[in-house]
Amino acid sequence: MPATTPPPTPSTPLAGAADAAAPGPATPPSEHPVLSAKDLQVAYRTGKDTRVRALRGVSFDLYPETSLALVGESGCGKTTLGLALLRLLPTLGEITGGSITFTGEDGRRRDVTTMSAGQLRRWRWSEAAMVFQGAQNAFNPVLTIGQQMADTLRDHAPGRIGRREILERSGEALRSVRLEPRRVLGSYPHELSGGMKQRALIATGLLLRPRLLVLDEPTTALDILTQRTVIDLLAELREEFRFAMIFISHDLALAAELADRVVTMYAGKVIETGTTQDIFSAPKHPYTSKLINAVPPVRGDLPELASIPGAPPSLATLPPGCAFAPRCELATDACRAEEPELITLTSRPGDMTHAAACLHHEQVHHERKVIARA
């Protein structure tokens, strides 16, 4: 492995927000990330001259064939981040700062934030695709699944594509998600079950074999057995097609099962990032720890579950200092005076960096160990 720059000491903040949340490479450091967000900022217009900052300097790297989970409560910025990565923000939202760099299979690096409308249309779905939350709302109810898959191929496939090839590609994509093309292609969305619609949506995202797949709450509104089917399917598809994956979820069990890395978001910022093992065995931010404590374990004795008091702050009126301080029993005057920087706590070879934005990360770790032994 090539020589690398020595990591910063655990007590030293990284050079800046852009570097702070960028995890180390999962593959040799010489290989570029598939996607790299640096100091990404997004705002929504709420009036003629007013804006709400929905993302406040988000940074991370996603390496080839790895998966990243974005977790946190509703309103923390997860979906906004997913939409921003593909430049799919609603009309009132805009990227106000930072960069999104995508590296294709040819090694060419492009800044997504500067792409023209034509470049974006060619790039989306052919190299980076998104599976939207709620399959029922994602599909057009007056078009068949086959018509919608055909539209995707015509709009985003490079060059002209004929009817026969459309049917072949659509059928292949549906079979990959365990659906029968003859039944599904001619069906309208309402004629399919929730699980079938979700799998058809995943198949549409994979039509052109993108290098990156972003999934927003892929198991929302599905029963527990159908969720299990979708989770197993995603794991199989990722192994078969070898795409990098970002999935947005409030379901920590899903994150633990599918993710290589986890990013915890709160009030539009990354407050902790690390490997799945680090995050679930030794969280360093009290918010991450509380999210984990609020989820019942799959096996073993049922511990006392604790909800997180209060609610996430309004992005229009953020408190001074750490945004989580009003809900945190560890908060001190120092927390309320200045917003903590994301600092590297553990840096090991490969994609093993663990960072958190908390002045009391050592105490959080100690408390988690006590809970684990109880």
40 neighbors 95 (Cβ within 8 angstroms) = yes
In the prediction, which pLDDT does 100 show?
98
Domain boundaries defined on the chain: 18-113+246-373
In the prediction, which pLDDT does 3 show?
37
Look-up: residue for tokens 């990284």? 14
55 neighbors 307 (Cβ within 8 angstroms) = no
> In the chain, what is the straight-line distance between the N-terminal and C-terminal CA atoms, in Å?
42
Q: Which of 127, 123, 104, 105 is nearest to 113 (CA)?
A: 123
- Angle formed at CA 258 by CA 254 and CA 264, multiple of 5 degrees: 65
Instruction: Return phi, psi of residue 124, to 5°.
Output: -65, 140
For 18-45, write each residue's pLDDT tens digit. 333 333 333 333 478 999 999 999 999 9
Contacts of 177 (CB under 8 A, 6+ apart): 199, 200, 202, 203, 206, 233, 237
Q: How far is CA 346 from CA 15, 18, 371, in A?
A: 16, 18, 22
Check whether domain 18-113+246-373 has CATH 3.40.50.300, yes or no: yes
Look-up: residue for tokens 């779905």? 125
102 neighbors 179 (Cβ within 8 angstroms) = no
Return the sign of the alpha-carbon dihedral for residues 355, 359, 361, 364: negative
13 neighbors 19 (Cβ within 8 angstroms) = no
In the prediction, which pLDDT does 368 show?
59
Look-up: residue for tokens 């209060």? 310
Q: Which amino acid is at 329?
A: E
Return the sign of the alpha-carbon dihedral for residues 95, 101, 105, 106: positive
Ranges in the chain, pLDDT < 70 = 1-30, 297-305, 365-374
In the prediction, which pLDDT does 159 show?
80
CA 37 from chain center: how many Å?
Answer: 12
- Secondary structure (3-state) at 50: coil
The count of residues in the chain is 374
Look-up: residue for tokens 């064939």? 65
> What is 232-269 written as a DSSP string?
HHHHHHHHHH--EEEEEES-HHHHHHH-SEEEEEETTE
In the prediction, which pLDDT does 212 show?
97
Q: Which of 251, 249, 310, 294 is nearest to 81 (CA)?
A: 249
Q: How far is CA 364 from CA 78, 239, 281, 283, in A?
A: 24, 35, 12, 7
In the prediction, which pLDDT does 72 show?
94
364 neighbors 372 (Cβ within 8 angstroms) = no
- Which residues, in sequence order, are bridge partners of residue 13? 343
Look-up: residue for tokens 């068949």? 144
Sheet holding 35-45, edge to edge: 51-62, 35-45, 93-103, 109-111
**Is the full-model pTM beyond 0.85?**
yes
Q: Which of 360, 302, 324, 335 is nearest to 72 (CA)?
A: 324
Residues 313, 65: Cα–Cα separation, whole Å = 35
Q: Which of 300, 226, 219, 285 is nearest to 252 (CA)?
A: 219
Q: Which of 102, 85, 84 is nearest to 93 (CA)?
A: 84
